[in-house]
Structure formats: C-alpha cells, structure tokens
Chains A and B, each alone.
Chain A
Amino acid sequence: MQNLANKKNIEPILEVQELKKYFPVKKGFFSKSTGVVRAVNDVTFSIYQGETLGLVGESGSGKTTVAKVVLRAYEPTSGRIFIKTAEGKRVDMAELDRKELKSVRKNIQMIFQDPYSSLNPRMPVLDLVAEPLQAYGWDQKKCVQRVGELLSLVGLNPRYMRRYPHAFSGGQRQRISIARALALSPSIIVADEPASALDVSVQAQILNLLDDMQEKLNLTYLFITHDLSVVRYICDRVAVMYAGKLAEVAKTEELFTKPLHPYTSALLSAVPDADPHQRWLEETVSGEVVDLSKEIRGCPFAPRCKYAIQRCHDVLPLLENKISDVENPHFAACHRSNEIELKGV
C-alpha cells in the first residue's frame, strides 16, 4: 500500500477541505454568545484508499474535534468533507441532510477512545454490535449470525454475545467496539486514540488487530493519537496538528527523520528514550498553547518557537509542499523551514 497515495489516477477516499469548527463561548444569565473558540481552524487533508493517516498533536490541539466533525457528530462551521461512497460516488458530507447522511455514514465509522464509556453497560454484546445493523433494518436472525462472524473476526468467542460489557476487560471491550464499527462493512474507520485508554500490554494487541483488519478488509484509517511510537508503528502518513491548524503533513519516515516544522521537532524530541546519554529535553518547548478564543495574526506556534522572527508573529504561514518531490509531498506551515536545521529521530 506504500505507493498508493502517490498514483495520480487514484482519487482520495476522504478529502477534507478548509474545515472549520468554532464553538461559541456563552456567558452570563441569558447565555449571550461572547466569542468563539476556534477548535478546528482551516484544516485541509486527504486520505487515500488503504492508507493510514495519523493525526497527532498535544491535548487541546483539536484532533478529536476534527474526527467528530468529519463524522458530522459536530456540525462543521464551514468547509467540505468529500467522501467516496461504496458505489463510487463522491459526496460532500458537510451538506447532506439527516436522511442522506444516514446512507453515507455506512461508509465511515468511528472507534472511540474509552471502551468503558462508548459501550452502553445496559446492553448485551449482541445488541451493542447489532445496533448499527438494526438501524439499517436487518432482521434479528441475520443480526445474530453477523454478530457471531464479527466477534470471531476480532478474536472474541461468539458464545459471549449474551454477556454484558462488565464481563469483559478493557482490551476485550475495545475489540467489541471494533466489531461494532466494522458491522456495516465501512471503507473508512476513524479511530480516536483507540489504544490509549488501555494497558500497555494490551495496546499492541489492539494495534495489531487494527492492522490485520486493514489488510483483510482493505480499510482506510484516520488514526488519531498523541503517542508518536504508535504513529511510527501503524501510520503511512502523519499530519501534525497545533492549535486547530495543521503544522506539517508528510510520510511517516520522512517526518520522523527530517521534520520541517519546529513544533514537530519538539514533539519528536519529547518522546522518552531509553538511551541515558541522550539529553531529551533539548528541543522541548516552554509556555502554553495560545488561547484559541483570541484572533491570531501570525503563526500560532510563534510565541513558543525559539526560531520565531517578526514575520512569524505577523503573517500566517500557509501549509505548502517544501520539497521538490511532487509524488511524496512534504507539507509544512513554517516561514523558516528552509533556513533552519531541525533534528529528527
């Protein structure tokens, strides 16, 4: 699947353009809207069939909001979300009404971060996994059969379908979530930190399972995480998010070895290393993430960036391809990416 993304004749399966999500800030007795928080501010990316795009960033950078807006769990403020349906049509999810949305949602499903809160504890596994099927009018007998198939697919015993979620461990619950997300045979899965709520020993199992499923079912993943070691393990391409904007998008190895954005470099150096001689706090940044409710003129990272010049504070850098390779572009939103030398890992 490595070079799929580069073939020009292949259309992206999911294409997000200039996506914005502003949350109103309400204050006072009459809930007057006093401003907005720009949680997702002008995000553009595309994902190709069979690939895994990692979306990384620190807490509050807007990763999960992107996921939820893409699925229309939150209504986007503006922007377009083109998706290629199973029938090969290209539709803009952002402008569909409820009924049309339901028919398109078969193609894109979500795995939540916390398997304890995303499965209703009051429903047995059968009902949980069959819920999407029932929403699309499957009858009970077919549901039972399909749920059995799905459970064995994700490595659970189909005999357990009458049990309730409290009978399962975190890892097993996440398997149930995965079975549920796969129930309608979607082509795209949005996985919102699917392993980060689990024990380290179980994380690898879940990641391997996702990897297996991708191979077996030819899935495309939008993989949201803050764990860079997971990104390197599972993602084909990575998009780095900072303060509601994309800072850098590139192929995984390229991004890890030759980061072009100072924020990416800082993220990479923050990954703890077993080498006692490495001083891993070298590149870390100080200060706080900018206040997303304030209008920012320049680069959102400029106040924390040690390479920032006056221009960074005044002019917003655009996300542009910084290398000559058009087939494997390396996008970065930095004015000085060509002038400074950044360290990768």
Chain B
Amino acid sequence: MDEVKKEVKEIKEAEKSKKKVTPQEEKLYVASQWRLMWWRFKRHKLAMSSAVVLVIFYLVAVFCEFISPYEPFERDLNYVQAPPQKIHFVDEEGKFHFVPFTYQTKQTLDPETWAWGSVEDKSQRYTIRLFVRGSRYKFWNLFYSDLHLFGVEKGGNIHLLGTDRLGRDMLSRIIYGSRISLSIGLIGVAFSFILGIIFGGIAGYYGGVVDNVIQRIIETLISIPGLPLWMALSAALPATWPSIRVYFGMTVIMSVLGWTGLARVVRGKFLALREEDFVVAARLCGTSEGKIIFKHLLPSFMSHIIVSLTLAVPGMILGETTLSFLNIGLRPPIVSWGVLLNGAQNVQAVAMAPWLLFPALFVIIAVLAFNFLGDGLRDAADPYSTNE
C-alpha cells in the first residue's frame, strides 16, 4: 500500500509540472456521446436551420386552431376561388403605414374571355392585427375560444394564400392539414421503429435460421410494387369508418411497409457490434447479456437509429400525400396536404387557380427540411469516427 501511495504522490507531482488542462479541454474530456453529437451537429448550419423550420412547422401543427385565421370549413361566399390577397403598407394617397393592411376585393368577370378577375376596393383599409377575436373553435377539443394569432379588423378579410372553389381559406386549411400530414409521419415512423427494432434485433441477435426467415420476409415485402399494394390495403379499409379510424388505418399501412429498411439497419448494427472487442470484453468480465444489450449495444447504435428515423419521416409524409392525392388515402372531411392537393387534380383548376398548389410547397419544405436534418444528424451520429 505504501508503494501505491508513493506512486500516487509521484504522479501528482508529475501532473503539476505538466501544463494545466484548460477548462475547455476538460469539458471535452468529460463529454458524453450525446454532448459530442450536439457540438458536431451545431456546426452543420443547413441542418440547424432545417431543425428550426421543423420546430416551427410542428408548433404550427400543434396550435393550428389558434394560428390559422379561419376555420377549415368556414366558407366566404364573396371570395370563391379568389387569388391570394395582397398586403399593403402604402395607401392610395401614397401614405406609408407601419401596420400592414388589406383591401376588400371584388370579383369581376371579363365579358370577352369569361375569366374571373379581382379588383381591390381601395376606399376602406382593414388593418392587420395580432390576437384578434374571430371565428369560434374548440381548442384541442377541450375548450372554446375565438382568439386567433392574427386577423384583420371587423368587416375585412385576409386570405393570404387565396381560397378554394368553395370559398374556404387555403392558408387555414394548409395549417390544419399540417396537423394530419406531419403527425402521420411521426406516428408512422414510431410504429415502424417498434417493428424494425423488434424484428431487426431478433434477426441480428439470434442469427441463423431466424435471421434467414426474417431476411426473406423483408425481401418479399420490398419486392412487392408499392403503389398497387398501398391501393389494395387502403381499399381494405371500410368506407364507413370514421375519419379518425381511417387516419390510424393509413398510419398502420404506411408503417407495415416502412419497417423493413429500419430492421435491416438494426440487424446490421447488431451483427457488427456483437463481435466488437468491447462487447467481447464485457462478456469476458462476466457482464450479463441483458446488460450488454442495454449498456453497450443500444447506446452504440441509437444515434444511427435516430438518423434512419429522421430520414424515414419524409417517406411517410410523401406516402400520405400520394395516396390522398390519388383518392385512396385520407378522404374529406379530413384536411391534410394530400387531400388539399386532391382539389388541384385537374389541369383547368391549376390553370385558373394556381394557388391551389400551395400545399405542395409545404410538402416540399417539410420533406427537404427532414432530409437536411437527417444529413446533419448522420454527420454527427458517430462522434468517434476519425474522419472529421
């Protein structure tokens, strides 16, 4: 013991004589995997901004009743298939106003071409305000309110992205649709995550015959052409089902087809990690299999799983949009981006009212943001890789 003490003293002295470790270095030395990942992720500007965009999108989806200026089924008969309304800062006399305002518009019919047009009635300004009282809604199905994030003074209208052929506000419908379209991605991915982890984990951990069977099932599943299978499955959903049940049915369909990729990732990671030196070392010093799985294997590939999940969400969102667009997914009265795009199905509608395509823009932004986020996460996922 004395010798040990002597040695400790020597080491301490040697330490003192060396240059001191700076606080930043010490912070790095005691940083866990997640902290290292975060530091790395922060440097990825595109992914960071995508994350911000997605957070905003999901906040909007969560508080859609409050944020949308109108109700999704509220019809404005004076504004049928009306183009996006302009926001003005400068009035007719050329006076500048700090608070933007809108004018009422009137629809006109060109007697020669029979095309609809609109003319702004500039006699009355309607100021845009925050936190205005508007149409009544039930927030989260819990309580009634009529407070909206923004709107115009009484008597005016605000259709920033135009209206559809029944006179419903596109922006409000897109905001309400985001709730369905964005959540179907997350819930669908959550289901596939559970299926993928279970099947992939079993295949990778036990190997042999079990692995072979699961691999063949996956190969069969991914060899079936996607669209016909989707159609068959959604045709199997009874038309009499209430919309919420159809929604869950769709989610399950998407995830039943979506778990295969994730299962393969999990299996591959299990197979690779099972033979890692540190896992063998843990086994040799008596650690139980359960502990090895939860303390060594899972933490080692959790980051990769998160990446795969992030990259799987856009597939789900696009799947919902495609199916609903083709009339085999969600149906009105559910409002989703796919259902909205369904209204822009014929060329005439698109030519006359191109603003009906706005939902597609939101789909594109959401999908791109998820892909960029996934990219950034993938770069940060393995903080111990040597290629910086």
Contacts and interface: CB of A to CB of B under 8 A. Distances in A.
Q: Is the interface of A mostly helix, strand, loop or mixed?
A: loop
B294 interface: no
B300 interface: yes
Given A31-B212, A120-B296, A163-B30, A73 B11 contact: no
Contacts of B295: 123
A120 B285 contact: no
A184 B281 CA distance: 14
Identify which of A31, A71, A120, A166 gathers the most chain B CB atoms within 10 Å of its CB: A120
Given A73-B280, A120-B278, A155-B11, A131 B29 contact: no
Contact of B11 (A118, A122, A157, A180): A157
A102 B36 CA distance: 35
Given A120-B296, A121-B384, A149-B4, A135 B287 contact: yes
A109 interface: yes
A119 interface: yes
B346 interface: no
B31 A102 contact: no
Nearest to A134: B287
Contacts of B120: none
Interface in A226-246: none
Interface in B1-42: 3-4, 7-8, 11-12, 15, 28-33, 36
Interface in A136-188: 136, 149, 152-153, 155-158, 160, 162-164, 166-167, 180, 183-184
A120 B283 contact: no
A131 B299 contact: no
Nearest to A177: B281
A124 interface: yes
Contacts of A184: 285
Identify which of B212, B281, B282, B283 gathers the most chain A CB atoms within 10 Å of its CB: B281
Interface string B289-310: 0010001100110000000000
A114 interface: yes
Given A121-B33, A155-B11, A132 B280 contact: no
Interface residues of B, number: 34
A112 interface: yes
B384 A155 contact: no
A105 B299 contact: no
A106 B212 CA distance: 37
A75 B358 CA distance: 64
Interface residues of A, number: 42
Nearest to A148: B8
Contact of B32 (A68, A102, A122, A155): A122
B12 A135 contact: no
B284 interface: yes
Given A117-B276, A153-B4, A167 B32 contact: no
A110 interface: yes
Given A132-B286, A135-B285, A162-B30, A157 B15 contact: yes
B92 interface: no
Contacts of B276: 117
A119 B278 CA distance: 5
A237 B26 CA distance: 44
Interface string B230-271: 000000000000000000000000000000000000000000
Contact of A120 (B7, B291, B300): B300
Contacts of B280: 68, 73, 112
Contacts of A163: 29-30
A110 B287 CA distance: 14
A123 B31 CA distance: 10
Contacts of A158: 8
Contacts of A123: 295
Contact of A105 (B4, B8, B286): B286
A152 B9 CA distance: 10
B113 interface: no
B110 interface: no
A117 B278 contact: yes
Contacts of A109: 284-285
A30 B215 CA distance: 12
Interface in B25-63: 28-33, 36
A120 B291 CA distance: 14
A117 B32 contact: no
Q: What 5 A-B pairs have minimum CB-CB distances, sorted nearest first?
A: A167-B29, A132-B285, A135-B286, A118-B277, A117-B277
Given A73-B280, A160-B29, A166-B29, 12 more contacts: A30-B212, A109-B285, A110-B284, A119-B278, A124-B32, A131-B287, A152-B7, A156-B11, A157-B12, A164-B31, A166-B28, A184-B285
Interface of B: 3-4, 7-8, 11-12, 15, 28-33, 36, 208, 212, 276-278, 280-288, 291, 295-296, 299-300, 384
29 contacts: A102-B286, A105-B286, A106-B286, A110-B281, A110-B284, A112-B277, A117-B276, A118-B278, A120-B282, A121-B384, A122-B32, A123-B295, A131-B285, A132-B285, A132-B286, A134-B287, A135-B285, A149-B4, A152-B7, A152-B8, A156-B11, A157-B11, A162-B30, A163-B29, A164-B31, A164-B32, A166-B29, A166-B36, A166-B384
